[in-house]
Structure 1
Amino acid sequence: MMFRITHCLLTAMIVMPFSICRGEECEQITDLSLKDSLRGTSLEVRLILYTRENRTCGKLLSHDDPFATPTFNPARPCTFLIHGYRPTGSPPIWMTTMVESILRRNRRQRHRGGLEPRSSQRQLLPGGEEHTARCCQHHTLHRGLNLSSIHMIGVSLGAHISGFTGANFKGAIGRITALDPAGPSFRGKSEDERLDPSDAQFVDALHTDMDAFGYRDSLGHIDYYANGGSDQPGCPKTIFSGSKYFKCDHQRSVFLYLDSMNQSRQITAYPCSDYSDFLDGKCLSCERFNSSGCPVFGYDVTEWKDVLLKLGQTTTFFTTNQKEPFCKSGYKLEIVSWNSEVRWGSITITLKNSAEETETRIDHKSFKFEQYTETTLLAQFEQDVYPVQKITLKYVTASVFTPRYKLRVLRFRLTPLKRGLRPMCRYDLLLEENKDVTFRPIPCHDSNF
Structure 2
Amino acid sequence: MLKLCFFICLVCWVKSDEEKCPEFTDLNIGNALSGTELQVQLLLYTKENQNCSERLIEHNVTASEYLNTSKKTVFVIHGYRPTGSPPAWLGDMKKLLLSSGDINLIIVDWNRGATNVIYSTAVENCRKVAEILKNYVDQMLAAGASLDSMYMIGVSLGAHIAGFVGHNYKGKLGRITGFQYFKCDHQRSVFLFLSSLKMKCNITAYPCASYSDYKRGKCVDCEVFQPMSCPVLGYYADSWKSQLILKNSPTKAYLDTSDNDPFCMYNYLLDITTWNKSVRRGFIQIKITDYAGNTIESEMNSEVMTFQQYRRVKMLTGFCQDFEKISKISLTFSTKTLLGPKYKLRILQMRLKALNNPERLQLCRYDFVLMENTELTFKPIPCPERSK
Tell me the residue number matched to 1:187: none
Tell me the residue number matched to 2:138: 137
Gaps of 5+ in 1: 1-20, 110-122, 184-208, 211-229, 231-248
Tell me the residue number matched to 1:216: none
Secondary structure, counterpart of 1:409 in structure 2 = strand
Cα separation, 2, equivalents of 1:100 and 1:124: 28
Q: Judge conservation of contact 2:291–2:325 (CA < 8 Å) in 1.
A: no
Q: Judge conservation of contact 1:330–1:417 (CA < 8 Å) in 2.
A: yes
Tell me the residue number matched to 2:271: 334
Which letter does structure 1 place at the counterpart of 2:87? P
Question: Which residue among 319, 326, 330 is the counterpart of 1:392?
Answer: 330
Matched, 1:378 2:316: yes
Aligned length: 351
Matched, 1:349 2:286: yes
Cα separation, 2, equivalents of 1:443 and 1:346: 25
Map residues 44-59 of structure 1 onto 2, 5 A cutoff: 44-59=39-54
Structure number with the higher helix fraction is: 2
Q: Judge conservation of contact 1:78–1:149 (CA < 8 Å) in 2.
A: yes
1:406-437 superposed Cα distances (whole Å, 9 cap, x missing partner): 11110001111123222111001111122221
Cα separation, 2, equivalents of 1:261 and 1:296: 11
Q: Over aligned residues, Cα RMSD in angstroms? A: 2.3
Q: CA deviation at 1:163?
A: 2.0
Which letter does structure 2 place at the counterpart of 1:408? R
Q: CA deviation at 1:107?
A: 5.1
Matched, 1:261 2:197: yes
Cα separation, 1, equivalents of 2:281 and 2:236: 41
Secondary structure, counterpart of 2:213 in structure 1 = helix
Counterparts in 2 of 1:361 and 1:135: CA distance versus 1, 3 Å: closer
Q: CA deviation at 1:60?
A: 0.5
Structure with more contact order per residue of length (Cα contacts < 8 Å, sep ≥ 6): 2
Secondary structure, counterpart of 1:314 in structure 2 = coil
Runs of 4+ in 1 over 6 A off after TM superposition: none
Secondary structure, counterpart of 2:171 in structure 1 = coil
Tell me the residue number matched to 2:64: 69
Question: Which residue among 296, 303, 307 is the counterpart of 1:369?
Answer: 307
Which letter does structure 2 place at the counterpart of 1:104? S
Which letter does structure 1 place at the counterpart of 2:256? T
Tell me the residue number matched to 2:91: 96
Question: Which one has the largest radius of gyration?
Answer: 2
Normalised to the residue count of structure 2, the TM-score between the two structures is 0.84
Cα separation, 1, equivalents of 2:21 and 2:387: 60
Cα separation, 2, equivalents of 1:171 and 1:369: 46
1:249-298 superposed Cα distances (whole Å, 9 cap, x missing partner): 22111111111123341111111222222222222233541233211121
Q: Equivalent pairs: percent with the same residue?
A: 40
Q: Judge conservation of contact 1:346–1:362 (CA < 8 Å) in 2.
A: no
Tell me the residue number matched to 1:85: 80
Cα separation, 2, equivalents of 1:341 and 1:372: 11
Normalised to the residue count of structure 1, the TM-score between the two structures is 0.73
Cα separation, 2, equivalents of 1:423 and 1:94: 40
Counterparts in 2 of 1:440 and 1:107: CA distance versus 1, 3 Å: farther
Q: Judge conservation of contact 2:268–2:353 (CA < 8 Å) in 1.
A: yes
Q: Judge conservation of contact 2:200–2:262 (CA < 8 Å) in 1.
A: no
